Structure 1
Amino acid sequence: MKKDIEIPKVEGVYVAVVNEYNDIYKTQDWNAYIINDKDVDLDVVLIVTNGYSDQKITSTFRKKLDKLPAKSYAKIELMQEELFALNNQFRVTFFEGNQMFEKTYLFRKNTINLKALQTVPLMKVKGVVVK
């Protein structure tokens, strides 16, 4: 029966961690975003995040977006720099039409840093992207 289950490959959906200026608090903040680079809307986007290492695990954070329009992005969470010493995973589940998709995006420990910045699709900013 397991062989009959089709798990489609996720393409065009990314998670990025961006270092950006916060005008309110006058600080440089790291924020995680989900990016929909597809030409179709994503429905019921569920994001479950946590950080972990051999000795530590963070609490689990959950976020739901009713809709993520085509060619758009949404902020997931503010990330404290102390978390970058851990593996940070983002489990994303969404519907495209009537089909469910799921993918885990993993930022390995110490890979989120200023030296690893690259151009983030759609956002026109620099960040660390997992595709």
Structure 2
Amino acid sequence: MKKDIEIPEVKDVYVAAVREFNEEFRADEWNVYLINDSNKELEMVLIVSEGHDKKKKTSVMRHRLERLPAKNFAKIEFIQDDVLSLNNEFKISYFIGNQMLDKTFKFSKNSIKESALQIPIIPKKGILAK
């Protein structure tokens, strides 16, 4: 029975941490974005995030986006420097048409740092979650 269930693979959807300057606080900060690099709109996007290691655990954060258009991105949340030393997970669930897809994106501890790479769609440098 389980072999008959088709689980679609998530393609062209990413989570990225981007270092940005906050004008209001006059400081650099890390922001996490959801990137839709596909040609289809994502609907009813649910995001659950948390940071953890063997000794510490952050609060669970929940976010929702009604829609994320094709070839677009949306800011999910600000991430404090204190939690960069933890494993940070972002569980993303969404619909394309009537099909639900989900994937857990992970930033390993200390992987979010200044040596950033180019990321899809966003015209800034950042780090993609795995």
Instruction: Please report the TM-score for the alignment, with normalisation by the length of structure 2.
Output: 0.97
C-alpha deviation, 1:130, in angstroms: 2.2
Structure 1 alignment gaps of length 5 or more: none
- Secondary structure class of the residue paired with 1:114: coil
Equivalenced residue count is: 130
Q: How far 1:27 sits from its partner (Å)?
A: 1.0
Secondary structure of residue in 2 paired with 1:67: strand
1:127 matched residue in structure 2:
126
Q: How does 1:35-50 map to 2 (within 5 A)?
A: 35-50=35-50
Aligned to 2:29: 29
Gaps in structure 2 of 5+ consecutive residues: none
Task: List 4+ stretches of structure 1 deviating above 3 A.
Answer: none
- In 2, the alpha carbon distance for the partners of 1:85 and 1:68 equals 30
SS of 2:59 mapped into structure 1: coil
Paired amino acid for 1:89: E
Q: Distance in 1 between matches of 2:61 and 2:19?
A: 20
| Sequence identity percentage | 47
CA distance in 2, matches of 1:111, 1:15: 13
- TM-score normalised per structure 1: 0.96
Q: Quote the residue 1:6 is aligned against.
A: 6
- In structure 2, C-alpha distance between the alignment counterparts of 1:69 and 1:77, rounded to whole Å: 19
Give the secondary structure class of the aligned counterpart of 1:127.
Answer: strand
Task: Kindly report the root-mean-square deviation, in angstroms, between the aligned alpha carbons of the 2 structures.
Answer: 0.9
**Residue 26 (structure 1) shift:** 1.1
Secondary structure, aligned partner of 2:3: helix
